[in-house]
Structure 1
Amino acid sequence: MRIPLLLAVLLLPATVRAQARPCTTPTTPCERWITYGGGPARSMVYATYPLTARNTAITRALIMVHGAGRNADHYFETSTAAGFLAGALENTIIIAPHFIAGTDKAQANEVMWPERGENWRSGGMSPTNPAISSFDFLDEIVRTLADKKTFPNLRRIVVAGHSAGGQVATRYEMTNKVHGTPGVSISYVVANPSSYAWPAAVRPLASGDADPENAAGAKEALGPEGEKVHASFTFGPFDAAKAPNFNRWPSGLENRTGYAAGMSDAQLVKQLVERPTTYLLGQVDVLPLGGFDSSPNAMAQGPTRRARGEAFYKYVTETLGAKHQAIIVPECGHNDRCIFTTNVVFPVIFPQ
């Protein structure tokens, strides 16, 4: 006797059915909740699979952090599109956390984050739950993914973000307290942020590739191997008269508050250097568009997003000895969908 296909599926154990098809639309069925401690405080994420049902098919995870618009729905669509193109949806759980702030409408017990000042981009503390920081949210996601009772075969976690989400990714990389979680390896993908937390009180000098005229013209034709990362940067002391707070957190390591407050400068620099990181820089992300940070603190890091990323990459690799990598993503400006759905990027967001 042949059993109809639908009935056969319904007869499968719940854990098998749960992992059969990924949820890929940023709607209620894909909403999941991260609870802090014993609750009731919680935060919402979109995720392609449940966070509490045992799933043996999952071998890796991509955590994709949204930009300044806090549009987690859009970033979930971008990252699931990348997963589809890379053929990674069946064995990857994709998670897009939602940092709600400002006038965003909170659901019951949902944690809010500060919109300005020491905000969600840099591990700021919640105004509604003062013991919880925005980076604690990411820590809880990592712990959930590392639970072998739920995801016994998950071995790789990638924390990625674009624009303001790229700021989250780079600062979380150097500060987080869960990087050594047993059973998983964590890497970080930093795409087109407007600023970085510089590990020393130096900045790129306004010459070479940090010269505003040169940086704005970074539009060379792609060669057979793509465009290379520009490297004509020199570094020196910054004139604090132009920006007195240029080296304060989150632009530098001074006067840290929130999640990052309890660690020494030496520990943060050590973590920055040791943790595997890839910088994704749009080839033509050289215009002051898309919420470009033109504050004095940010302008001290370079004239464009691309130049700021190239300079930071050169400093941490050549001066500090980090083994990081940087990729110029061809023909992309300040656009997350262009960045993350380009073939050259798939190996770093969906590592083997």
Structure 2
Amino acid sequence: MQIKSLVAALAFASTLGTSVWAQSQSDCSNTTTTSRSFSLRAHRAAYKRVAGADEASDVENHTPLRIPSGSRLRNITVGAKGEQLVTYWSNASRALDSVVDQAVIMLHGRDRDGDTYWTIANKAAKLANANGIAGASNNTLIVAPQFFSKTQNSGQYATNQIAFSDNAWIYGGKASFPSKTNVTAFSAITSLVTMLSNKKQFPKLKRVILVGHGGGGQFISRYSVLSPDIPSSAQVSIRYVIGDPSSNLYFTGDRPLRTSFNAVNYTKSACPIYDTYRYGFTNITESVPTATLSPRGYFTRFAKRDVVFVVGNNDTLPNGDQSGMAILTGGEIRRDRNYMYWRYINLLAGVPNTNKNLDSAGYPGSFSSTMPTWGGSTGGVLKAQLTIIDGAKHDADLAYQSDLGVAAIFTPGLIKRGGPVLPATR
């Protein structure tokens, strides 16, 4: 098929998203096709146009910004040309810049409802204080960035406030507004973290906790790998809390063995873009220009970071990202994909007895015996933790109002594993 035919097919598929062509080329199913000669770029363009993934499409949220009680809007300068990120910001006297000692940055999901996620994080902070959770503080600042859609939120953002095409912010992509901006979602959050780490402005702040769920969880999952280190002179610790993402970032071309999960018609050989960023490191600099380390270099750094994965053991509906690239990471449901990723990063780090321990606990998935181990770089140690919220479906409230979810945000050091891996019959 020639490029003109591809363009025509894209146009057709964009109006008929369930077409066989769209399924076989964009979502990487194993439908018979003669397209093996297509370039990777053509496949990637096709994916962006017709994928049914929740991250790839705008979700309507036309309503004016609602400011929850206890919050205010605060614009943060995040670009060299004066570009600004809109945030929901705690409005209490105990959250003044001069007195806050920790900050929770809560990322919204694909609905771009920063107000809702500010409220969820604020409830979690209140629960932490009321229940005497370790790490709780009355001087906790809650910040919820608002990533606008250029189209769906048209008229709601000012001429210097950043907005994105589709939901490109989920994987740290570049803002499409203002025109010719170089600000990305990742660089915007880095600017926010850098501001909070400035002792002249926030003299008592010692911790920043970045939290997300769903689409926000996907952002934090990738940001926990790709974000720059905060200078040690800032004396600020960073925690990344990753809740129920549809996919995570793989450091190698390895994926769970197809014999370990059900995914009819999906194979790596039929999906030449399966390892393209945001699922793997192929062509990552097109979306994240600052990604200059090798995958092993990034993993070595990631293995030392304070990361907590939060998984609801009842997050089992086959929705969210249903592209082939995501399905190849562990099937149709988020819970199993995240369990298999947990196995993957432990194996990659060379953590002793990973398969034995996870198999005996009932975790799904398996990987090839030829998968590399980078234990020589990590010392066989992975600092990341996993906590399992029993009975929780795909719901940020359920995740972060639970005792384990609150602890995942606020408690320094070790977090309880929770569980069980699979929910009891209810």
Q: What secondary structure is seen at the aligned counterpart in 2 of 1:33?
A: strand
Residue in structure 2 matched with residue 183 of structure 1 by the alignment: 235
Query: 1:316 and 2:358 equivalent?
Result: no
> Which residue is equivalent to 1:205?
257
1:128 paired with 2:177, answer yes
Secondary structure of 2:408 counterpart: helix
| Partner secondary structure for residue 193 of structure 2 | helix
Contact 2:79–2:188 (8 Å) recurs in 1: no
SS at match of 1:86: helix
Deviations 1:41-88 (A, max 9, x none): 11100011489x964432211111011111111101111111111114
* Matching residue's letter, 2:341: F
Looking at structure 2, the residues matched to 246 and 59 of structure 1 have their Cα atoms a distance apart, in angstroms, of 42
> Matched residues in 2 for 1:242 and 1:29: separation?
49
- Runs of 4 or more off by more than 3 Å in structure 1? 53-57, 178-181, 210-213
Verify: 1:294 aligned to 2:322, yes or no: yes
Tell me which residue corresponds to 1:73: 115
Q: What is the rounded CA distance, in whole Å, between the counterparts of 2:382 and 2:78 in structure 1?
A: 33
Q: By how many angstroms is 1:28 displaced?
A: 9.8
Whole-Å Cα distance in 2 between the matches of residues 200 and 49 of structure 1?
44
Is the Cα contact below 8 Å between 1:175 and 1:260 reproduced in 2? no
1:93 aligns with 2:154: no
| Kept after mapping to 2: 8 A contact 1:156/1:351 | no
Amino acid at match of 2:124: A
Q: Distance in 2 between matches of 1:54 and 1:295?
A: 44
Indicate conservation of the 8 Å contact 1:173/1:271, yes or no.
Answer: no
**Bigger Cα displacement from structure 2, 93-102 vs 314-323:** 314-323
Note the C-alpha offset of 1:187.
Answer: 1.2
* Cα contact 2:71–2:91 (8 A) shared by 1: no
1:329–1:260: structure 2 CA closer, same or farther, 3 Å change rule?
farther
Structure-2 separation of matches of 1:50 and 1:144: 19
Which residue of structure 2 aligns with residue 345 of structure 1?
405
Identify the range of structure 1 (331-340 vs 179-188) with the bigger mean alpha-carbon deviation. Answer: 179-188
SS in 2 for 1:274: coil
CA distance in 1, matches of 2:123, 2:71: 18
Q: After superposition, what is the alpha-carbon deviation per residue over 1:6-28, rounded to whole angstroms, capped at 9, x for unaligned?
A: xxxxxxxxxxxxxxxxxx95369
Change beyond 3 A, Cα 1:89–1:37: same
State how far apart, in whole Å, the 1-side matches of 2:239 and 2:292 are.
Answer: 21
Whether the aligned pair in 2 keeps the contact of 1:70 and 1:98 (CA below 8 Å) is yes
Deviation at 1:345, TM superposition (A): 1.9
Distance in 2 (CA, whole Å) between partners of 1:264 and 1:197 is 15
2:102 corresponds to:
60
1:29-68 to 2 correspondence within 5 Å? 30-37=72-79, 39-49=81-91, 55-68=97-110
8 Å contact 1:175–1:271 — kept in the other structure? Answer: no
43 and 349 in structure 1: CA distance in 2 versus 1, 3 angstrom threshold:
same
Q: Deviations over 1:214-253 (max 9, x none)?
A: xxxxxxxxxxxxxxxxxxxxxxxx9433321000000001
Larger mean CA deviation between 149-158 and 91-100 belongs to 149-158
Moved more, 263-272 or 132-141: 263-272
Distance in structure 1 (CA, Å) of the matches to 2:98 and 2:70: 24
Which whole-Å CA distance do the structure 1 matches of 2:293 and 2:279 have between them? 16
- How far residue 135 of structure 1 moved from its aligned partner, in angstroms, is 0.5
Report the aligned-residue RMSD.
2.5
The CA distance in 2 between the partners of 1:282 and 1:58, in whole Å, is: 31
Deviations 1:169-188 (A, max 9, x none): 01001101244452101111
Does residue 305 of structure 1 match 2:305? no
CA deviations on 1:292-317 (whole Å, 9 max, x unpaired) are: 11100000001210111111111112
Q: Distance in 2 between matches of 1:336 and 1:244?
A: 33
CA contact (8 A) 1:317 1:324 kept: no
Partner of 2:394: 334
Aligned to 2:159: 108
Corresponding residue number in structure 1 for 2:301? 271
Cα deviation, residue 38, structure 1:
5.5
- Change over 3 Å in CA distance of 1:25–1:127 after alignment to 2: closer
Q: 1:43 to 1:338 in 2, by over 3 A?
A: same
Superposed displacement of residue 137, structure 1 = 1.1
Letter in structure 2 aligned against 1:309: N
Question: How far does the alpha carbon of each residue in 1:197-230 deviate from its partner, in whole angstroms, 9 at most, with x for none?
Answer: 111101011345x3479xxxxxxxxxxxxxxxxx
Structure 1 residues 332, 171: closer, same or farther in 2, change over 3 A? same
Over 3 Å counting, the alpha-carbon distance change for 1:49 and 1:147 in structure 2 is farther
- Is the CA contact 1:139–1:178 (under 8 Å) kept in the aligned structure 2? no
Q: Return the match for 2:216 from 141, 162, 165.
A: 165
CA distance in 2 between counterparts of 1:93 and 1:300 reads 39
- Residues matched between the structures, number: 299
**How has the CA–CA distance of structure 1 residues 190 and 127 changed in structure 2, closer, same or farther, with 3 Å as cutoff?**
same
CA positional deviation for 1:351: 3.1
Bigger drift between 35-44 and 72-81 goes to 35-44
Give yes or no for contact 2:70–2:92 (8 Å, CA) kept in 1.
Answer: no
**Identity of paired residues, percent?**
26
Tell me the equivalent position of 2:21. none
Post-superposition shift, 1:37? 4.6
- Mind listing any 5+ residue stretches in structure 2 that lack a counterpart? 1-65, 130-135, 350-380, 413-426
Provide the C-alpha distance between the structure 2 equivalents of 1:245 and 1:180, rounded to a whole number of angstroms: 36
How far off is 1:122 after superposition?
1.3
